[in-house]
Amino acid sequence: MYEIKGLNEECGVFGIWNHPESARLTYMGLLSLQHRGQEGAGIVSSNGSRLQGEKGLGLLSEAITDVELNHLTDDQHAIGHVRYATSGNKGIENIQPFLYHFYDMSVGVCHNGNLINAQSLRRNLEKDGAIFHSSSDTEVIMHLIRRSKADHFEDALKESLNIIKGGFTVALLTKDALYGAVDPNAIRPLAVGRMQNGAYVIASETCAIDVLGAEFIQDIHAGEYVVINDEGIRVESYTQETTTAISAMEYIYFARPDSTISGKNVHAVRKESGKKLAQESPALNADMVIGVPNSSLSAATGFAEASNLPYEMGLVKNQYVARTFIQPTQELREQGVRDKLSAVKDIVHDKNIVLVDDSIVRGTTSKRIVKMLKDAGANEVHVRIASPEFMFPSFYGIDVSTSAELISANKSPEEIKEYIGADSLSYLSVEGLIDAIGLNIDVPYKGLCVESFTGDYPAGLYDYEENYYANLSPRQKDYLKANKQFFDREGNLNVKSI
Amino acid sequence: MYEIKGLNEECGVFGIWNHPESARLTYMGLLSLQHRGQEGAGIVSSNGSRLQGEKGLGLLSEAITDVELNHLTDDQHAIGHVRYATSGNKGIENIQPFLYHFYDMSVGVCHNGNLINAQSLRRNLEKDGAIFHSSSDTEVIMHLIRRSKADHFEDALKESLNIIKGGFTVALLTKDALYGAVDPNAIRPLAVGRMQNGAYVIASETCAIDVLGAEFIQDIHAGEYVVINDEGIRVESYTQETTTAISAMEYIYFARPDSTISGKNVHAVRKESGKKLAQESPALNADMVIGVPNSSLSAATGFAEASNLPYEMGLVKNQYVARTFIQPTQELREQGVRDKLSAVKDIVHDKNIVLVDDSIVRGTTSKRIVKMLKDAGANEVHVRIASPEFMFPSFYGIDVSTSAELISANKSPEEIKEYIGADSLSYLSVEGLIDAIGLNIDVPYKGLCVESFTGDYPAGLYDYEENYYANLSPRQKDYLKANKQFFDREGNLNVKSI
Amino acid sequence: MYEIKGLNEECGVFGIWNHPESARLTYMGLLSLQHRGQEGAGIVSSNGSRLQGEKGLGLLSEAITDVELNHLTDDQHAIGHVRYATSGNKGIENIQPFLYHFYDMSVGVCHNGNLINAQSLRRNLEKDGAIFHSSSDTEVIMHLIRRSKADHFEDALKESLNIIKGGFTVALLTKDALYGAVDPNAIRPLAVGRMQNGAYVIASETCAIDVLGAEFIQDIHAGEYVVINDEGIRVESYTQETTTAISAMEYIYFARPDSTISGKNVHAVRKESGKKLAQESPALNADMVIGVPNSSLSAATGFAEASNLPYEMGLVKNQYVARTFIQPTQELREQGVRDKLSAVKDIVHDKNIVLVDDSIVRGTTSKRIVKMLKDAGANEVHVRIASPEFMFPSFYGIDVSTSAELISANKSPEEIKEYIGADSLSYLSVEGLIDAIGLNIDVPYKGLCVESFTGDYPAGLYDYEENYYANLSPRQKDYLKANKQFFDREGNLNVKSI
Amino acid sequence: MYEIKGLNEECGVFGIWNHPESARLTYMGLLSLQHRGQEGAGIVSSNGSRLQGEKGLGLLSEAITDVELNHLTDDQHAIGHVRYATSGNKGIENIQPFLYHFYDMSVGVCHNGNLINAQSLRRNLEKDGAIFHSSSDTEVIMHLIRRSKADHFEDALKESLNIIKGGFTVALLTKDALYGAVDPNAIRPLAVGRMQNGAYVIASETCAIDVLGAEFIQDIHAGEYVVINDEGIRVESYTQETTTAISAMEYIYFARPDSTISGKNVHAVRKESGKKLAQESPALNADMVIGVPNSSLSAATGFAEASNLPYEMGLVKNQYVARTFIQPTQELREQGVRDKLSAVKDIVHDKNIVLVDDSIVRGTTSKRIVKMLKDAGANEVHVRIASPEFMFPSFYGIDVSTSAELISANKSPEEIKEYIGADSLSYLSVEGLIDAIGLNIDVPYKGLCVESFTGDYPAGLYDYEENYYANLSPRQKDYLKANKQFFDREGNLNVKSI
């Protein structure tokens, strides 16, 4: 579904320790994380003495065949990964987990998120003779571990986790243990579960724990890592400099509705955000509420309930999408040919509609949907966005890293309303979002990372800093000045270029 | 999604005449019909002087590659087909459209539905020297046409349509014309649309017309066929012995919610059936309504609105399914491992739930879902089925042709309630269904084919008759005796074996 | 290797009855017949109660996978086929054996060779309602069998064999028996062998019998068919109108050197033809003899021995050929880039060479090889062809059916010598060829079919007749007039158009 | 053909500089080197500003598709590689050339042969933090280059070439130049050619130069490397410690007969070795000479000519081999089923045969061939081997690295004669081999590396030393003591463990 929005997260990770069906369960866990990455997948597994792996391009079902999965069926431990690939990095060499065979040990490793100092680390490592085989940040982590002077693998890992910056989770497998680590702000989530047979699983989302019938045990918090081995489970901190700032976008957009992050169910959060939105920005004369499938359906039902309006299926999404891009040409599009979404004429004709969406990134999709509804005979279309204005790029693992792509970086809501052809347009407030999620942790933004809405980057900017400040739009600058909500990497207000 | 239910229809057809992008548009039309068949697909196209085709196994995206589609891009006319294959007939030789090159003409042909006298026709043709290359009924049609003594193709087609029996639509392409025909009861639907450039399209469902931005023109009615050629469009009747009996299962289960059949939008019909169901069988102490994704969501929102209960996403379906069946083993299943559907613990825990589903076929899925909800902590689960008891097999193109598969053929609602572990179970009445669809045609069942609920087969049984009567269950016999609603092929009450 | 010459035969057939490893042995038999067809292959097998099959495009190793072969491993009887596809007929629908499931029996069938009245038979069958699914002659045979009024399959087969004309072998498999038939002139060969366990095999060439360690039993002669079933083996005649005329091209070019046809080993025949050629047309001042790999190597060693000259490897053929045609462009070719054949500079430099080849078809290959040798420094190149001038097209299963393709139809040896740039050019005489093969049967041409050299077609021309006479070149007409060696289909001299 | 012998060399390299069709020509060059490696292939190409590449598993035609080759068609410079993979290292990660993108440059690199100190270098590099992604020695070379402190790439390359030991050629491509290097003994060959347009090519064998119509320029000699860039061609020495010792096995077995190594044509050498063998060990009462296809055919014709015996095609090899191994089972083999080689009964029956083979490695193939000939009716079979006894393993790039595999390490010729069932068995003497090749360089063994016959390793043993001496067989020890022909890595006689 994420093709519609053009909003992509980088990957999902999974791990399991001590189950006779570890490879099959990893496959199933990854299948439930497939929404986090569809461009490649891999599994590395171990029988306690050696590691082996399989990986490939495309959806899990294409990336790993039955035959390949069967190669791994005798193993008891495994990690797995689904990858979203940014363009230009689509080769098999970037598919994770990476499996390294050293003279003294073997390691499988994969990560989710983005390291914001990877580029500078990489160059320094290369200058020191390191050879990289991919463009993946995961390799940087491995080089740091191998160049550590620490005597033990776990110490080398801790050391390396203190060097890398950004929003990330990392999963590692050796013949002796399964490791899972979370960045110092817990921007990216990682949960732990336990199966009936005592096997432990770790996963980017709890839906991958639930699908195995496993019991949720705990989240891994900011700056922590978990070690699971034959002696049991142990959670440690690799740094004390932590501030919880869980990515709000996980709740709004990325996570599956049945996942729970930090105690808050994603569907419930979205429904609540729809209700808050209805209170903040009601649509008084509307006949019905429609959600943009699939990620906005929960918010739309919340809006409908709070407004006492019927919730209707006015947009239908074709679940079958051509892998080989047989998209309508511009000429066909002008003749009215559509692809994935269809408006249902018999539902929307002559009606005043509230269209609930989770976010507006470029605005092009919203524009197309509004037009589609009007072409289908809708009378008025009132767009309600269940999150605040997406004004600032993200560098912590979301594939929107330049301001130019963000319509809200450059246009006001009124201008966007005109652009997309809506009859009205409102966003949920930052406060409304924070309330709807309801973490209530006593830190900035009550424990959320809302950098996309506020320009406040809890983990700093590092390699991206220079470029970021150089390219701020007038609207972004105005917002930052007005709100004074920005920090440099030491946590001080940054006034350099504004 | 149809794997869940084990309820499958046989295929979807599409045709287009006179568009420079006919192959690409056929591909897109088929994509929107993909829910009607995922086991194979094909396209036959023509430039007005010769016919050519491409086809393959699997989803459309697997069956026809970009390169193959490109072979067809210079053609202006096309027909296409998506196939659901009953087991044992999965070879490429059964994938349609079939393309025949005769010394005097070429013909492409495909069909949707089931011929109930195909077996006897086939045997008689073979006795007369005919050679069949597949197990598809489509071949029978072609043999009849070629053996006709009629001088013109259209006359031979008419003659052949009068010989075959059952529920079907047929699409044919010659270099001179596109033909689409519908059975004498209009059990299977076929709609006609017109594009902005004047091109005509025909399709099993209107969603394939809408997706092209084409305007809906008309349905092809019982016993009619349409001829589209360079002179325009012409609709003819091949028989006067017609009684409209549109498959109720198209509304309940098969069709896409955005399709409209005989003037009734499918989503609206389903929502209305949910409302009727809430009136007929309310669930008084429930906390929320949950629908089984995806086909029961419309009915569930109808039920929720009519009951003034919140509609919640208590079940989530993984849209990514392993093509290569990496299903959980029985042992894993007992450990709680699930596959496609997940119950959302944080939503359903401690709640009294109305679970709305569109139908119960074998009962196994319902049993699993109820257990899943209870395992997730649901207090009570009240199952409400938005259609009547599925008591009788179908022979008109639905893949349920033996009574043994149907739990309602053998168990009462009370017994089924026990079997699936629900706290209560109710079905929509036949009258309620007929009202919710609202065709209101002045013929039996107001224009619907409800044979699965009543045992009343509007097109007769033919080759299936003997077996059918021999295998009626006590419950089926009781029903038929009580309702006296069954006809032999001459339309008289059949009392033979009861 | 046959790409070089552009001379292709249509197919090889194989059959086996009553061996527990029938599918695997058929695969191995076909592998040894692979030189007869590389565009597709198939196997149909039976366990005595049902038939099943696998087939595919390309080399055997591509056409039938391990997994597919495994499907057939429980069967005891099988037939198989390797296909050479003429352009335009490359679809999977033409790959044999064809497997037919009728209401009363199942049949697998394949053939080798060409039916010269297939086109007229096909049209008449179509006029009578028959439907063809491929462009293969094999289908014609099956239609004839199914339309026969004979009571027994074997009688229907006999009847059909009397209707078809040309050069062919046919293999058929039913659950009850394996059949193999040979045309009334035995133009195409078929041999029978017996394995140690008593299983019988039939094959287009004895090399496929030898590879299985089976004992050669007999050839099937002109107008005969063999029936092999659980009662044993039986050879019958379906016609008395036979004249043995075994294709000389099988000896000269098509068959594997280790095969034996009608008692004559192919390598020995070729070597003998090289010796005869050396006697008829010695190359007095030559330093060495070189053969064109691979089919001319035997003849070249014969020439060398008879001339008392060293036989050298002055031409090397790359056994690895790009399937996907990455051929040198014309521009690269002019720069000296070659593809399959290379001249060995260090061998041929400054030498007078006898270049022995088995035939000249278009002359382009000979021209290229002579140039290649001269470019590599060869002094004189004396071309010796181990067969007579290839003046007339063949319609009995060789892919050279128009005179325009044949350089000898239009040019004299002197002209061809100039064209190919040779220092001298000689052909083996027809008498020399007949002597070298040495069949010595008391019929025209001592039992050989030498139509390509004499224009004398032992099985007539049928559908090809009109076109053939209309397009005779002056040189062909002169030859026919001078030799008076041509027959119409009644066996009379044909003087119509000359 | 190498499956028969189980004797494999590791790879072939190719390079081209400054041709508009560089990718296509590299493909064609690699095709002519395909006999050196069939398990994978790759091409890295450059347009002078960036490098890109394609690679894959299997034969060239499988490894690189048309589409992939087209990606490279705009480039002017390229290197390519065909790989023979030792078991366990068959992954795509080992397919070369490797393409590295560093912050300061990009490099493509591949090699042929074996580094005998790779394992110790690798471990030391890993201890120093290096990370390897494959098991290929090529990676070691790249790590050495990147860790060099030299200012210029060429200096770093020189430095690295002085660290690695063994028999190898290396090809490297940067945007600025093409490099080719040869080990200090020239064990593995590398030749340079020039095309008509001025483009330079380098290749493991001259046949890859010839196939492009290029002119042979020179061999790269022991301890040299060549640099080709836009300024022209330059050959340098990276070490003065060189002793020419060209692998005799290249002449005997690996190279294509049309290649020329160090001025000696391979076919001519083989023919000469056959003649020498006939002089040393004539077979007096024989009727004919047969060679084992394909590598022994030249030697066999030499033997035949020198003996004045007819050379016959008594063994035929099927050129079509099942990729998917459908080999006859042991049970079938006992029934006489064969696979690749067939004896021609009609040729060998009742004859006394000289069977010429190029070498005996394990003896199993020879045993099978002799049995095959006797089963086909041969009277006597006299085996003549056109090389000396293969007594010692090779570590310089031939896949025979343990003595246990070598029948001659453990058995005398008399014992081997019995084992293979021959009537007599003789080998060519070391002197005879050296004479037949005729390099006549004034160094040990006249410039050949004959370690497999003498146990004299010109480049030392390094990582293999300990294991080698520990596992010497009694027969090997006896030979070494008798001949005193072994050196330690300093060139002194090694007496340690004998």
pLDDT band at A338 (very low <50, low <70, confident <90, very high): confident
Tokens coding C67: 């997994």
Q: Which residue of A has its CA nearest to D124?
A: A103
> Domains in chain B, please, with CATH?
2-242 (3.60.20.10), 266-318+334-445 (3.40.50.2020)
Give the CA count within 13 Å in the CB-facing half-sphere of D435: 15
Taking only Cα atoms into account, the Rg of chain A, rounded to an integer number of angstroms, comes to: 23
Give the pLDDT confidence score for residue D222 in this predicted structure.
98
Give the pLDDT confidence score for residue C294 in this predicted structure.
85
Give the pLDDT confidence score for residue B333 in this predicted structure.
75
User: Which among C103, C126, C131 has CB closest to B142?
Assistant: C131
**Closest CA relative to residue B307, chosen from B357, B252, B354:** B354
Judge whether residue A354 has pLDDT over 90. Answer: yes
Q: Whole-angstrom Cα distance, residue A165 to residue C473?
A: 84
Average pLDDT over residues B366-379: 95
Which helix or strand (DSSP H or E) is residue A216 part of? strand A215-219
Chunked into runs of 10 residues, chain C (498 residues) has average pLDDT values of: 48 96 95 92 97 93 89 96 72 91 97 94 96 92 97 98 97 98 98 96 97 95 98 97 96 94 97 98 94 93 96 89 60 76 92 97 93 95 98 87 87 98 98 97 95 94 91 91 60 45
CA distances from D474 to A19, C300, D418, D464, D470 (A): 50, 48, 20, 19, 11
Is C24 in Cβ contact with D332 (below 8 Å)? yes
CB count in 10 Å sphere of residue A126: 17
Looking up tokens 């006939």, which residue turns up?
A: D278
Where does B350-492 have alpha helices with state H?
364-375, 413-420, 430-437, 451-454, 465-470, 474-483
Is B28 in Cβ contact with A197 (below 8 Å)? no
The pLDDT tens digits of the residues spanning A228-246 come to 999 999 999 999 999 999 9
Give the pLDDT confidence score for residue A497 in this predicted structure.
40
pLDDT band at B131 (very low <50, low <70, confident <90, very high): very high
Q: Which residue of D has its CA nearest to A141?
A: D131
Show residues of chain B in contact with C139, CB under 8 Å: 131
Q: What does the CA dihedral B48, B51, B52, B57 come to, rounded to 10 degrees?
A: 110
Q: How far is B139 from chain C (nearest CA, A)?
A: 9
Do the strands C106-115 and C166-173 form a parallel or antiparallel pair, or are they unpaired?
Answer: antiparallel
Give the pLDDT confidence score for residue C89 in this predicted structure.
64
Report the neighbours of C using a cutoff of 3 or more CB pairs below 8 angstroms: B, D
| DSSP designation for B64 | S
The pLDDT tens digits of the residues spanning B100-115 come to 999 999 999 999 999 9
Give the CA count within 13 Å in the CB-facing half-sphere of D134: 25
Is B211 in Cβ contact with A342 (below 8 Å)? yes
Show residues of chain B in contact with A260, CB under 8 Å: 345-346
Q: How far is B168 from chain A (nearest CA, A)?
A: 24
Sign of CA dihedral D240, D241, D246, D247: negative
Give the pLDDT confidence score for residue C342 in this predicted structure.
87
Is B133 in Cβ contact with C143 (below 8 Å)? no
Give the pLDDT confidence score for residue A250 in this predicted structure.
95
Judge whether residue D305 has pLDDT over 50. Answer: yes
Comparing D87 with C254, the larger pLDDT belongs to C254
Give the pLDDT confidence score for residue D430 in this predicted structure.
96
Average pLDDT over residues A256-275: 96
Is B324 in Cβ contact with A267 (below 8 Å)? no
Show residues of chain C in contact with B101, CB under 8 Å: 132
pLDDT band at B224 (very low <50, low <70, confident <90, very high): very high
Average pLDDT over residues A365-378: 94
Non-local CB neighbours of C273 within 8 Å, separated by 6+ positions: C252, C299, C302, C386, C387, C428, C432, C433, C436, C437
Is C267 in Cβ contact with D337 (below 8 Å)? no
Q: What does the CA dihedral A393, A395, A400, A404 come to, rounded to 10 degrees?
A: 40
Judge whether residue D490 has pLDDT over 80. Answer: no
Give the pLDDT confidence score for residue B403 in this predicted structure.
81
Please state the pTM of the whole predicted model. 0.88
Show residues of chain A in contact with B69, CB under 8 Å: 326
Active site residues of A: 11
Where does B76-136 have alpha helices with state H?
118-127
pLDDT band at D85 (very low <50, low <70, confident <90, very high): low
Judge whether residue B422 has pLDDT over 70. Answer: yes
User: Which among D123, D127, D131 has CB closest to A142?
Assistant: D131
Comparing A101 with D404, the larger pLDDT belongs to A101
Give the pLDDT confidence score for residue B497 in this predicted structure.
40
The pLDDT tens digits of the residues spanning C384-407 come to 999 999 999 999 988 777 788 899
Q: Whole-angstrom Cα distance, residue B69 to residue C73?
A: 37
To probe the interface with B, which of C133, C143, C146, C148 has the most B CB atoms within 10 Å?
C133
The pLDDT tens digits of the residues spanning D217-237 come to 999 999 999 999 999 999 999
Give the pLDDT confidence score for residue D163 in this predicted structure.
98
Give the pLDDT confidence score for residue A86 in this predicted structure.
57
Judge whether residue D496 has pLDDT over 50. Answer: no
Give the pLDDT confidence score for residue D132 in this predicted structure.
95
**Closest CA relative to residue D103, chosen from C384, A140, C178:** A140
Is residue C371 helix, strand or coil?
helix
Active site residues of D: 11
Judge whether residue B127 has pLDDT over 90. Answer: yes
pLDDT band at A495 (very low <50, low <70, confident <90, very high): very low
Judge whether residue D43 has pLDDT over 70. Answer: yes
Q: Which residue of C has its CA nearest to B141?
A: C131
The pLDDT tens digits of the residues spanning D28-42 come to 999 999 999 988 999
The pLDDT tens digits of the residues spanning D379-397 come to 999 999 999 999 999 999 8
Give the CA count within 13 Å in the CB-facing half-sphere of D271: 19
Sign of CA dihedral B335, B338, B344, B350: negative
Give the pLDDT confidence score for residue B321 in this predicted structure.
65
Judge whether residue D487 has pLDDT over 50. Answer: no
Non-local CB neighbours of C134 within 8 Å, separated by 6+ positions: C89, C91, C93, C94, C98
D358 is in an annotated binding site: yes
Judge whether residue D419 has pLDDT over 90. Answer: yes
Is B123 in Cβ contact with C103 (below 8 Å)? yes
Q: Whole-angstrom Cα distance, residue C452 to residue A435?
A: 92
Q: What ipTM was estimated for this complex?
A: 0.88
CA distances from B353 to B350, B384, B422 (A): 9, 10, 10
Show residues of chain B in contact with C91, CB under 8 Å: none
Average pLDDT over residues A320-328: 59
Q: Whole-angstrom Cα distance, residue C448 to residue D400?
A: 52
The pLDDT tens digits of the residues spanning D128-166 come to 999 999 988 999 999 999 999 999 999 999 999 999 999
**Chain A residues interacting with chain D (CB cutoff of 8 angstroms):** 92, 100-104, 122-123, 126-127, 129-133, 139, 142-143, 146-147
To probe the interface with C, which of D28, D54, D62, D312 has the most C CB atoms within 10 Å?
D28
Helices (H) and strands (E) in chain A, counts: 19, 23
Is residue A234 helix, strand or coil?
strand
pLDDT band at D334 (very low <50, low <70, confident <90, very high): confident
Is A346 in Cβ contact with B265 (below 8 Å)? yes
C456 is in an annotated binding site: no
